[in-house]
Amino acid sequence: MKIGFFLPQMGPAANVESITKVAKRAEELKYDSVWVTERLLYPTNPQTLYYGGPIPDPYKRVFDPLETLTFAAAHTSRVALGTSVLDIPFYNPVLLARRLTTLDVLSGGRLRVGFGLGWSQDEYDATGANMKTRGRRADEFLGVLLAIWTTDPAEFHGKYFQLPKSIIQPKPIQKPHPPIYLAAFSPAAMRRTAKLADGWMPVGMTVEQLKSTSTQLRNIVKEVGRDPASVKVIARYNFAVTPQPHGKDRAFFSGTLAQIKEDVTAIKAYGPDELILDSTFSPDTHIEQDFLRNMEEIRKML
């Protein structure tokens, strides 16, 4: 099982020095990957709650995900660079394809791209996106991206996106293209993952949920005529370290380091292809030293 860790891209610890130090230290500790996410704004009167509650404070300060990864790429040489996730509805696929290709080339072929559809109505309003058509647009979006990355000249004609037959260079270093992962939960999104993605990127699932949904996904992958082994499982968890242990009803990946180690062991026993951990929302994480300490403690567990 590979192991990845989030960069201090948002919240009070997000700054040039912390991003540099954490990226370098991740490579020294032999982490397989470093990750960033996307958050466009922090609405003062949100239309959409965050999993039924208030939007976390770290979302008030966020560095752009791709610029952050490009900066991290310049200070590292081996560690993979991933997004978990970019929100498809906020982007034009032709423009984003060029940015992603550039990052893959400049980093020497280390890009891994996770995509999602977003959840904030305020962010949809700010970008002119449409919740009602986001699934259908996502199918075409990925079609455009794959056309640009794998064909030359590239061409695409759909309901939402048009790409006239064009030469678009350079191409990514990774062949046939950088890995594409989708954060998918609905039946339509799971089918999209089975048909078009290289991996599935669930967030915060218990071991039982991960096992059950992974089995469902593998069955769908078979139905669409692909090898289930070709679609990887990249499990992401936001962990919260506390000085005192939580009770038996504690949330997964919360509590003392000893309790979180129990959860890491449980996930490792199940065996997803990769485990990604994010300490941004942990109550003990405020400055770069907190990120570095958590990275080192997690690495000892794996």
Please write the tens of the pLDDT for every residue from 219-275.
999 999 999 999 999 999 999 999 999 998 999 999 999 999 999 999 999 989 999
Q: Please report, in angstroms and rounded to a whole number, the separation of the first and last CA atoms in the chain.
A: 9
Q: Which domain holds residue 92?
A: 2-301
Instruction: Specify the CATH number for the domain of residue 54.
Output: 3.20.20.30
Banded pLDDT at 108 (limits 50, 70, 90): very high
To the nearest whole percent, how much of the chain has pLDDT over 70? 100
CB 58 within 8 Å of CB 281: yes
- pLDDT, tens digit, 9 for 90 and up, residues 56-88: 999 999 999 999 999 999 999 999 999 999 999
Query: What does pLDDT average to over the chain?
Result: 96
Tokens describing residue 133: 């058509």
| C-alpha pair distances (Å), 46 with each of 8, 37, 123 | 24, 19, 10
Q: Per the structure, how many domains does the chain have?
A: 1
> What's this model's pTM, rounded to 2 decimal places?
0.96
- Which spans in the chain are helix H? 16-28, 65-74, 93-106, 121-127, 134-150, 187-196, 207-223, 257-270, 288-301
Task: Report whether pLDDT(52) > 90.
Answer: no
Mean pLDDT within 142-159: 98
Specify the pLDDT at position 92: 98
| C-alpha–C-alpha distance, residues 268 and 272, integer Å | 7
Task: Report whether pLDDT(302) > 90.
Answer: no
Tokens describing residue 90: 């906020």
CB 37 within 8 Å of CB 10: yes
